Structure 1
Amino acid sequence: MAINVTPHLNFRGNAREALEFYQTVFGGELVIASYADMGNTDPATADHVTWGQVAADNGFRIMAYDVYPNLPWDRGQNPFFVSVRGTDPEELQGYWERLADGATVRQPIGPSPWAPLYGQLTDRFGVTWVLDIAVEYPST
Structure 2
Amino acid sequence: MTITTTTHLNFRGDARAALEFYHSIFGGEIVLATYADAHTAQDAAEPNWITFGQVTAENGFSVMAYDVQVRRPFERGANSFFVSVRGTSADEISTFWKGLSEGATIVEDLAPAGWSPLYGMLTDRFGVTWVLDVAAGYSGS
> Could you tell me whether the CA contact under 8 Å between 2:33 and 2:140 is conserved in 1?
no
Alignment of 1:44-123 (within 5 A): 44-123=45-124
Q: 1:16 and 1:34 mapped to 2: Cα distance? A: 9
The number of residue pairs the alignment matches comes to: 140
Q: Secondary structure at the match of 2:107?
A: strand
Q: Secondary structure at the match of 2:136?
A: coil
Aligned match of 2:28? 28
Shift of 1:76: 3.6
Q: 1:135 and 1:105 mapped to 2: Cα distance? A: 23
Give aligned-pair identity as a percent.
56
Q: 5+ residue gaps in structure 2? A: none
TM norm structure 2: 0.95
Instruction: Provide closer, same or farther for how the CA distance between residues 111 and 24 of structure 1 changes in structure 2, counting only shifts above 3 A.
Output: same
Q: 2:106 and 2:16 mapped to 1: Cα distance? A: 27
Shift of 1:44: 2.3
Q: Secondary structure at the match of 1:98?
A: helix
TM norm structure 1: 0.96
Q: 5+ residue gaps in structure 1? A: none
Shift of 1:43: 4.3
Q: Secondary structure at the match of 1:92?
A: helix
